[in-house]
Each structure stands twice: as structure tokens, then as C-alpha cells.
Amino acid sequence: MPEISKAVLITGCSSGIGEATARRLATGGWTVYATARRLEAIEHLRDSGCRTLALDVTDEHSMQAAVEEVERTEGAVGVLVNNAGYSQGGAIEQVPLDAARRQFETNVFGLIRMTQLVLPAMRDQHWGKVVNIGSMGGRLTFPGGGLYHATKYAVEAISDVLRFEVRGFGVDVVLLEPGLITTEFAANAMAKNSEISTDGPYTEFDAKVSALTTGVYEGPMRRLGGGPEVVAKAIEKAISRRRAPTRVPVTPSARLSILQRKLLPDRVWDAAMRTQFPQPK
């Protein structure tokens, strides 16, 4: 029987969780294909033992080429880490649909397409793991983040369904739900928000949401979060186990917030949000 490939392909390794995971897994002896839109942004990961490939999860040709390259060398992508993503904030009434579509294209359709591309070879070797980077934001919502939350709720549903559909082929699906993780995420979210900001009934609200987002990553709440290494560690643990938990909340911020949301009725959650966010009117 041919040897099983446990080669790991990670999307979005230019910074944050993807970068930390690539580094940790390569150092831990895994064969790692670190990928990013800009190859020059991941050159340094070669020093940690990673192989690097260009991969944009919104570009069909780029996704196919990267998966084919790994399959040519390794036989199969053994572990896919669907990590690439960003947050498009803004009040739902005002987010331009193009920006909303781009948000889904990266966070949802990219994840689906990458999964579709790696599954045939995983099935052939009857072994594979799909690790989806969701968010605590797939279990609860904060005002002003509707589009981002919608993508992460979608990732929850996709992970649950996929887990059932591929189990008989020897493939497992693990959903990571990080809380507050200090990466480029907040800065990138601010940049996306300013691209679409307009004057109107939500101007003050948008400004407050932006300030709160930055504040939460820089303020005392940060203590309940962690660096990208804690997510990398949780990923390594999940893929090393024969049977991983289906969902892995990462950091106390995720565990606490998910629990709070579970316990509070919708209107009580809304009231709690009103103590922090201005009600647009």
C-alpha cells in the first residue's frame, strides 16, 4: 500500500495564524506547504523548513496549481488548513454588495473550493484532515460585523455537513473557533472599513465600531485573548489526534463569549450590546 501523505497545506501564511501555524508545524516535523497571495511575503518561512507556494483563494487557477503541485510531490494534501480570511465590517444597510461578495469569496467560497480540490486525493489514500479556521464570531455576533459573522456562521454549517459527508472516506473535519488573537486582523479590518465608509445615518456608529474593534485588541480584554501561536498549538494538537473534537474554541475570550451567548436570550444579548455600541438612529 502506498504511503499516506500527511503533508499540510495552509492558506494565508503571510501573517498571523497562518504564519505561526506553518512555522510551528514545520518545526514539529510536519511537511508544510505555506501559501500566500504574495510569495515574497512568505519567503522567510523557508528558513523554518516550509515549502512555499503562491495561492490566492479567490483565483481558481492559483488554487488548482497549488494543489496539483503538492499532489505531484506528495501524492495528496493530507491536511488542509483553510485559514485565509479577513473581516469586512460596516452596517448591513450600507456595505456595498461588491464588498459583501468579496468577503464571501475569500472566507467561504475559497474555503469550499480548496476543500473540493484536495478531497479526491484524500479519499484515494483514505486519510485526510480539513481544518477550518472559523471564529467565535461564528457563534455570536457583534453589531457592525454582519458580513464577517455571516461568513463565519457559514463556515460552521459547512464544517458540520462536511464532517458527516467525508467521514466514511477516512477524512475528518475540525473547526477552530479562535477568540481575540493579536495579528494583522484588526488593522486589515480597519483598512477594509475605511474603503467603504460613507457619510450617512451610520457614520457615528461605524466610527464607534472601529474604535471598539481596535480598543478590544489593545485594551485589557486582550488578556483574555492570545497570540497566533496559541491557535497554531491548538491546530497541531487537533491534527495529531486520531479523533479530534469537532469544535475547538481557542483562548478564554472565545470560551467565555460563546458560553455567554448560549445562556443569554436574544433580547438580553441585544441589551448587553447596547451598553457598548451606540444604537444607530
The CA distance from 269 to 212, in Å, is 17
Q: Alpha-carbon distance 156 to 78, whole Å?
A: 21
Residue pair 169/201 in contact (Cβ under 8 Å)? The answer is no
Asked if 258 is part of the footprint of ligand NAP (rule: CB under 6 A), the reply reads no
Contact assessment for residue 257 and residue 179, using Cβ atoms and an 8 Å cutoff: yes
Q: Which stretch binds ligand NAP (CB under 6 A): 121-129, 179-187, 197-205, 261-269?
A: 179-187
CB 85 to ligand NAP: min, Å: 2
Q: Which of 5, 88, 183, 210 binds ligand NAP (CB under 6 A)?
A: 183
- Copy the grid coordinates of residue 177: 473557533
Query: Could you confirm whether 148 is annotated as catalytic?
Result: yes
CB of 280 to ligand NAP, least distance (A): 24
Residue span binding ligand NAP (CB under 6 A) among the ranges 5-13, 64-72, 204-212, 262-270: 5-13
- Asked if 106 and 153 count as a contact pair (C-beta separation under 8 A), the reply is no
Footprint on residues 68-127 left by ligand NAP (CB under 6 A): 83-86, 106
- Applying CB under 6 A, the span of 72-80, 164-172, 184-192, 240-248 interacting with ligand NAP comes to 184-192
Interaction pattern, residues 202-231, with ligand NAP; x per rule: CB under 6 A: --------------------------x---
> Are 75 and 5 a contacting pair, CB within 8 Å?
yes
Q: Which is nearer to ligand NAP, 38 or 223 (CB)?
A: 38
Q: Which of 148, 153, 202, 217 is catalytic?
A: 148
**Three cell numbers written together for 237:** 494538537
Does residue 8 contact residue 26 with C-beta atoms inside 8 Å? no
Among 52, 103, 115, 135, binds ligand NAP (CB under 6 A): 135
Distance in angstroms (rounded) separating the CA atoms of residues 45 and 22: 8
Q: How far apart are CA 172 and CA 191, in angstroms?
A: 35
- Beta carbons within 10 angstroms of residue 211's beta carbon: 11
Contact 73, 5 (CB under 8 A): no
Subset of residues 11 to 40 that bind ligand NAP, contact rule: CB under 6 A: 11-18, 36-38
Binding site for ligand NAP (CB under 6 A): 11-18, 36-38, 41, 55-58, 83-86, 106, 133, 135, 178, 180-181, 183-185, 188, 228
Q: Which residue numbers are catalytic?
A: 148
